[in-house]
């Protein structure tokens, strides 16, 4: 029989960009890209996607507990779409990180760079591009300890051959663009 040391609490987060709400914590100042446990009202002003030409960080601005651990297998997915032109997604990297109240960022767990070479076609007649969902899993068995003055965030990096590759992060519960489930030990 497993003891309390083996009990995990799994929490799922969704990445969104809220235009009318921003958070400040540590080195995140007036930050719009957030992790939420539930999607916001569909009436919120949001940004659905961002060009893959940059690195994006989605902050979970709330306390989880005074002291807690991340340990187990982290699972999730990201979604990439072609906009305006056909693109090739060369590779991607997803990282779970923490930031403290002084602004120090630390990588905790990562997929490493995953090579894909996926070609996404743009259809100019219908003004629509292919999209792809990349599922990922991260082995987090070397547990990370976090404190109440630290917050978690998700870093997403995509290498594509054109700025026409976009990372979806829409505020839409019917289609989960970026989703991550993290195992916590309390």
Please report, for the domain that includes residue 76, its CATH number.
2.60.120
Predicted local distance difference test score (pLDDT) of residue 1: 41
Instruction: Establish if 76 belongs to a structural domain.
Output: yes
Predicted local distance difference test score (pLDDT) of residue 23: 93
Domain that holds residue 68: 7-185
Instruction: Establish if 64 belongs to a structural domain.
Output: yes
Q: Which residues contact 175 (CB under 8 A, 6 or more apart)?
A: none
Instruction: Establish if 1 belongs to a structural domain.
Output: no
Q: What is the pTM of this model?
A: 0.93
Number of domains making up the chain: 1
Instruction: Establish if 173 belongs to a structural domain.
Output: yes
Predicted local distance difference test score (pLDDT) of residue 2: 47
pLDDT tens-place values along the chain, 186 residues long: 444 566 789 999 999 999 988 899 999 999 999 999 999 888 889 999 999 999 999 999 998 999 999 999 999 999 999 999 999 999 999 999 999 999 999 999 999 999 999 999 999 999 899 999 999 999 999 999 999 999 999 999 999 999 999 999 999 999 899 999 999 998
Instruction: Establish if 2 belongs to a structural domain.
Output: no
Q: Cα separation of 183 and 8, whole Å?
A: 6
Instruction: Establish if 42 belongs to a structural domain.
Output: yes
Beta carbons of 61 and 25 less than 8 angstroms apart: yes
């Amino acid at each position: 029989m497993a003891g309390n040391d083996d009990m995990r609490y799994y929490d799922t987060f969704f990445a969104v960009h809220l235009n009318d709400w921003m958070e400040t914590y540590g080195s995140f100042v007036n930050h719009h890209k957030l992790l939420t446990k539930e999607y916001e009202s569909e009436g919120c002003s949001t940004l659905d996607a961002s060009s893959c030409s940059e690195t994006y960080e989605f902050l979970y601005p709330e306390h989880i507990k005074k002291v807690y651990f991340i340990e187990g297998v982290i699972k999730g997915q990201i979604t990439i779409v072609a906009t305006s032109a056909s693109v090739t997604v060369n590779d991607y990297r997803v990282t779970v990180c923490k930031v403290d109240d002084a602004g120090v960022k630390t990588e905790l767990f990562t997929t490493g760079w995953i090579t894909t070479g996926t070609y996404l076609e743009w259809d100019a007649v219908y003004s629509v591009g292919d999209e792809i969902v990349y599922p990922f899993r991260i082995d987090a068995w070397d547990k990370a300890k976090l404190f109440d003055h630290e917050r978690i965030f998700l870093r997403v990096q995509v290498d594509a051959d054109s700025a026409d590759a976009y990372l979806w992060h829409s505020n839409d519960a019917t289609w989960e663009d970026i989703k991550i489930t993290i195992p916590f030990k309390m």
